[in-house]
Amino acid sequence: MAGVNSPAERFDLITRRLQEVLGGEAIKALLEQGQNPKCYWGTAPTGRPHIGYFVPLTKIADFLRAGVEVTILFADVHAFLDNLKAPLELVGYRTKYYEYILTTVFKSLGIPTSKLRFIEGSSYQLTKEYNMDNYKLCSIVTEHDAKKAGAEVVKQVENAFLSGLLYPGLQALDEQYLGCDFQFGGVDQRKIFVFAEEYLPKLGYAKRAHLMNPMVPGLAGGKMSSSDPNSKIDFLDSPDVVKSKIKKAFCEEGNVTENGLLAFAKAVLIPISELRLERLKSKTVADPEEGSVSLGEPKPFITDDAPEGAVFTIQRDTKFGGPSHYKSYDEMEKDFAEKNLHPGDLKVAVRDAINSLLDPIRKAFEANEEWQKIEKLAYPDPNAKPEKKKKAKVYHPPPPGKGKNAIPLESAPSEATPEEAPAEPSAP
């Protein structure tokens, strides 16, 4: 390992840039024993994944560097249970689409997929053992606790479906059946994590640690959501679409509290730039394969003339002060708050960085016909008109005397009757 070896350094790498850590002491204990912690991160294949996924996927690179064994769960059963998001017949296609997207994003970031375990929830969630544990949970969990746990994740309706109430319990059981030491997710899942910490021990299972990354605001403020196309940028959006969405994004001068672009730079762009800079210095720690296979041109988001320590560059014309090189997000935020960084310049820098991240993903999609077919099946165009089926032509022969080549009956030669037939010549 290069650079980071001690348990304390590995723990710092595992927990850096996270918003909250529950049960961190258990992870420290494993590291001090020389063990590699096991983690799982799950995603329900419902709406189209967007660039907000860069936040957890970039963090997974830190886990791998620290020697963590990572499982990626495609929670297909959860996707079906989360009402109104993914009809059952689409879940299989969407699971495959998510697998294509996440695998390609990992490769574009230089993260070796050979170190990751991909698994579908239905591969074990339909077993007798899992279902018996689910029934045990149902016997001790109240409706109030189940609804409270899923409040930030499961779609809330006035008259809740039972499927949504099952969701938190199943996610808690996943920790046991995937054999993890900690679960990783967004801070929006905190209530489910607390639910798991309370109820798994009641089934006789170990209490796990929980690590949470911050949520990235949408382009117009609020949560970046798959269901709101104006709040997010899709992994396959074209450069022109990205440009248009960034141009319309809310970015009030001096406002740093309701600024989705600054938040994205903090949670995604600067961490990726730091990851690439560390890789250039061979600081890949316990993951020597990192960066060995990478799509596109994985350059840090700085110019060639940036000073040592810079992690992000805002390029400007010299008549407007020239480029600004930032060594941290705090420096960038301070500049924006003091109106030394104009919203227009920030938008251009973020737009260009996002397009550079998406370019290798777009190219991989365009070169993969199977992925293109899956995309159409997983997310059919709601405005597409159903194809009209052409009626098969059936040939019906015309009646006698009819048709294009028929001879009129009155002019047709008639057959001679026996009486009218000419007599045969007599023998001589």
> pLDDT tens digits, residue range 354-390?
999 999 999 999 999 999 999 999 998 877 776 666 6
Q: What is the pLDDT of residue 80?
A: 87
Element (H, E) at 182: strand 182-186
pLDDT tens across 255-305, in order?
A: 998 899 999 999 999 999 998 998 888 776 655 666 566 666 788 999 999
If you average pLDDT over every residue of the chain, what do you get?
86
> Identity (one letter) of the amino acid at 391?
K
pLDDT tens across 159-214, in order?
A: 778 888 898 999 999 999 999 999 999 999 999 999 999 999 999 999 999 999 99
81 pLDDT band, cuts 50/70/90, is: confident
**What CATH topology corresponds to 7-213?**
Rossmann fold (3.40.50)
> What's the N-to-C CA distance of the chain in angstroms?
123
Model pTM score: 0.83
Q: 28 CB contacts (<8 Å, ≥6 apart)? A: 7, 11
Element (H, E) at 41: strand 38-43
How large is the average pLDDT for residues 241-261? 92
| Short-list 81, 69, 68, CA closest to 121 | 81
Q: What is the pLDDT of residue 2?
A: 47
Task: Give the residue range(s) of CATH 1.10.240.10 domains in the chain.
Answer: 239-378
How large is the average pLDDT for residues 102-120? 90
182 contacts 209 by C-beta, under 8 angstroms: yes
Q: Is 210 helix (H, G, I), strand (E, B) or coil?
A: strand
Q: What is the pLDDT of residue 164?
A: 84
Q: What is the pLDDT of residue 285?
A: 62
Task: Give CA–CA dist 44/201, Å, rounded.
Answer: 25
Q: 82 CB contacts (<8 Å, ≥6 apart)? A: 44, 46, 153, 154, 155, 163, 164, 167
Whether 102 shows a pLDDT value over 60: the answer reads yes
Q: Is 220 exposed, middle or buried (0-12, 13-18, 19+ CB in 10 A)?
A: middle
- Is the domain spanning 239-378 CATH 1.10.240.10? The answer is yes
Residue 7 or 411, more confident: 7
- 156-178 per-residue burial string, b: 16 or more CB within 10 A, e: under 16: eeeebeeebbbbbbbbbbbbbbb
Task: Give the residue range(s) of CATH 3.40.50.620 domains in the chain.
Answer: 7-213
Task: Give CA–CA dist 215/149, Å, rounded.
Answer: 18
Q: What is the pLDDT of residue 1?
A: 41
| Short-list 94, 122, 314, 349, CA closest to 226 | 94
How large is the average pLDDT for residues 308-332? 92
3: left (phi over 0), alpha (psi -120 to 50) or beta: left
CA atoms within 13 A on the CB side of 343: 14
Residue 182 or 111, more confident: 182
Q: What is the pLDDT of residue 123?
A: 95
Of 136-150, 159-173, 337-351, 396-410, the range with the lowest mean pLDDT is 396-410
DSSP 91-147: HHHHHHHHHHHHHHHHHHTT--GGGEEEEETHHHHTSHHHHHHHHHHHHH--HHHHH
Q: 7 CB contacts (<8 Å, ≥6 apart)? A: 28, 31, 32
220 pLDDT band, cuts 50/70/90, is: low
Q: CA 419, 420, 424: angle at the middle one, nearest 5?
A: 90
